Amino acid sequence: MTDEQAHASAPLAIGRAIAFVGVVLVVWVLLAIRNPQLTYHFAPLIAAFVGPASLRTIGPVDAARAIPVAAATSVVVGLVSVVLHVTGGMEGPTFWNDGPALSEAILFAVLGAAGGTRVATRPNPGLLGSVFEG
């Protein structure tokens, strides 16, 4: 894909990122509301990961494009985590069995965003990047 084609496809890729993140967040919220005593450990990681990683649909992108998407995704996942925590939707245990699930969710959101950014920006798509390539 040429730079011109990639630039023209960027809005579609960002729209896809929003849709992927939205689907994961909706599923997570519905599960958390239904079973607040369970902790869905990897939901924030996956939600934050798919945002920047889905930019891979236009090929490898530069960090200037991937980092803002990763940051926005992390903030949205963090806000959803806070809302779930405040409303009692994150009452389950954490991996380290000490402290609130909110801390774990925010940590996993940051890790997911970093991993998704790596997938989006690396020249060779790798296994995870090949899932998102168009």
Full residue range of the structural domain in which residue 62 is found: 3-132
CA distance 88 to 33: 8
Q: 111 is written with which tokens? A: 């890790």
Which residues touch 51 (CB under 8 Å, ≥6 apart)? 17, 18, 20, 21, 69, 70, 72, 73, 113, 116
Mean pLDDT of the chain: 84
Would you tell me how many other CB atoms lie within 10 Å of the CB of residue 34? 9
Q: What's the total number of domains in the chain?
A: 1
The per-residue pLDDT for range 3-38, each reduced to its tens digit, is: 555 555 667 777 888 888 899 999 999 999 999 888
**pTM for the predicted model, two decimal places:** 0.83
Q: How confident is the model at residue 65 (pLDDT cuts 50, 70, 90)?
A: confident
